[in-house]
Amino acid sequence: MNKSFYDAMSAVIDKSEIANKAGLSYLSAATAMRLAGRPNVEFVDFDGKPQLDCLNGALVAVDLVIPGADLKPQRMWLPVMDQENRAIDSSKMTLTDVNNSRQRCLVKAIAAVYGDGLSLYLGCDGDGVAAAKMLGIEPTSNLPDVQAVVATLNEGGAPYVEWNVAIAACRITDPSFSWSVVEWNGLPFRTVMGGVMVDVDTVYKGKSQRLSLPVMDAAFNPIPAAKVTTFDWNKAVMRALTKCIAFNTGYGLSVYANDEFGNKSKAKVDDGQKFSEGKDGGKGGKKSNAKAETPAPAETPAPETAAKETAVEPKVEETKVETPAPEAAATESAATATAPVETPAPAEAAAQATETPAPAGDNAVADCVTRFKGVLQKRRAADGTPGIIKLFSDLNGSAKYTAEEKPVCFGVLVPAAAACTAEDDIVNLLGEIKTYKAMDFVAADGRDVVAGKLTATALKAGLAVSDDGLLNAVTLLVDAGVAANSGDVMRLAKLGGVPAETMDLLLAAIEQ
């Protein structure tokens, strides 16, 4: 295992090593182990059993050591599934099902931790060179500046980043990257308010981030705890992982603000609104205009027969995940077995920052979010970032939304605007947020993430001017309700990934 993740992922796997069944390519567990150099593997037991019985089914897990990192092993989870990629009810489960799922989990873990075989998960049939070209990421890449590879469930559907793409981006640029599902009393979830919540931690270049999501149905309504399956749990974990990676690393972050915010237009800043008169704020990095390629579906059910070892077929996603498009989230049917696993990013999910939906049955709220998402989409297409910022005043004066609906829409608008606003526009945006007290409507679960993004952008713009510009940025953030005080700005700056050098300058400026 002396090769790097990038080298392993970009290697071309000989066709003789790749099995195929019904048009689906996969590696056997034995082949994956050989390619990875026979790493130390620990199949996790739970109170002496090879599976964790929960959620009307069972989960299996595999631990692998992260190369070159003095960390606890990386754990990969997977539901116990049948040949059709469906979670098996505990009453119908056999020991063969458990063993097959363990082998399947091992292959997925090897691909995610070491890179061997990941090109199959990326839809490149073992052509690692093509996989590396598709990702467009090298070990020296700066993820916030990389154009994320996105996919959509169907034509016109919501864009999202697949788990395999997100993990590859992290592992290539940080070999010690790790992630974990938070366990509560021995279970990889917790029961909250009658539903189930999953929590995912990521550590990227030493920076930790946790993100929580409820287990939801296709309409983004929390599923009652008694009805949640391991299928539903796995979908929520993959959603949370990919979104947590975006929040921690910046890779694909704009996808989670609104499904069409990948390219960012810049607004003109009025003379009276600059950080320092006569100077412009800092310029954001250039964004690629290339259209990101769409990766193939993520997961890989193996042929499950008693006579053959279970393997993983990377062209079929692991749990037939329901991925609702924003235009019809409430009516989206379950995805087919070839649908990708990961996270849709409709505007209503962005409003929550942790994808917490309106309460079940609140059709009026869901309808207003859908309508407002359409407005966001049109405004961005027509006017770019300036149009999004102008939506604050337009929404406030609109007769199309009731007094009860407007706060919900502001809760959608703030994260969307934060994600697509660069330094040139941040003063205008903070002014609108202040005017309409819009931070009050951002969901508590994701408020710090949104505030961290706003803080990082404001400080970067202020730094481009002077030390006074940094102090002015602090004032703007506090006045807008983004931060409580200068100390809170420091906290949010760290959360937003502000460089240590800037943090030192900011602290010195505050203490003067």
- Digit-coded pLDDT (tens) for 414-446: 988 988 888 999 999 999 999 999 999 988 877
Is 42 within 8 Å of 73 (Cβ atoms)?
yes
Look at 26-35, 397-406, 498-507 and tell me which has the smallest mean pLDDT.
498-507
Pairwise CA distance, residues 359 & 248, whole Å: 28
Rounded to the nearest 5 degrees, what angle is found at the Cα of 140, between the Cα atoms of 295 and 2? 85
Phi and psi torsions of 419, nearest 5°: -70, -30
CA dist 108 to 44, 48, 135, 330, Å?
15, 23, 19, 31
Q: What is the pTM of this model?
A: 0.54
Q: Compute the half-sphere exposure of residue 501: CA atoms within 13 Å on the CB side of its CA.
A: 2
Predicted confidence at residue 181, as pLDDT, reads 97
What confidence tier does 289 reach under pLDDT thresholds 50, 70, 90?
Answer: very low
In single-letter form, the type of residue at position 359 comes to: P
Q: pLDDT-based confidence at 84, cuts 50/70/90?
A: confident
Which of 363, 343, 170, 140 has the alpha carbon at shortest distance from 259? Answer: 343
Give me the pLDDT at residue 218, please. Answer: 75
pLDDT of residue 158: 60
pLDDT beyond 60 at 18: yes
pLDDT at residue 197 is higher than 70: yes
Which structure tokens are listed for 75? 């754990």
Average pLDDT along the chain: 78
Higher-confidence residue of 275 and 29: namely: 29
Tokens of 267: 């607004």
Least confident interval from 37-41, 271-275, 495-499: 271-275
Q: Which of 27-36, 77-86, 316-325, 473-482 has the least mean pLDDT?
A: 316-325
Paired residues of 20 in beta bridges: 25
Residue 500, pLDDT score: 83
pLDDT digit string, tens, across residues 159-181 = 678 999 999 999 999 999 999 99
Of 363, 364, 328, 360, the C-alpha closest to 344 is 328
Residues 6+ apart with CB under 8 A from 220: 324, 329, 346, 348, 349, 355, 357, 358
- Per-residue pLDDT at 360 exceeds 50: no
pLDDT at 121: 87
DSSP alpha helix (H) spans, 346-466: 347-352, 363-397, 405-420, 426-435, 447-463
Q: Please say whether the beta carbons of 421 and 280 come within 8 A.
A: no
How does pLDDT run across 125-152, given as a tens digit for each residue? 889 999 999 899 999 999 998 888 877 5
Quote the tokens at residue 90.
């505990």
> H/E element holding 152?
strand 151-152
Q: How confident is the model at residue 238 (pLDDT cuts 50, 70, 90)?
A: very high
**Triad 11, 60, 70: Cα angle to 5°:** 60
pLDDT in tens, 104-129: 999 999 999 999 999 988 888 889 99
Taking alpha carbons only, the member of 238, 285, 45 closest to residue 246 is 238
Question: Residue 21 in contact with residue 83, Cβ under 8 Å?
Answer: no
Q: Classify 437 as helix, strand or coil.
A: coil
Average pLDDT in the 1-9 region?
A: 85
Nearest to 246 by CA among 283, 281, 213, 288: 213
The full set of domain ranges for the chain reads 346-512
The reported pLDDT for the residue numbered 142 is 94
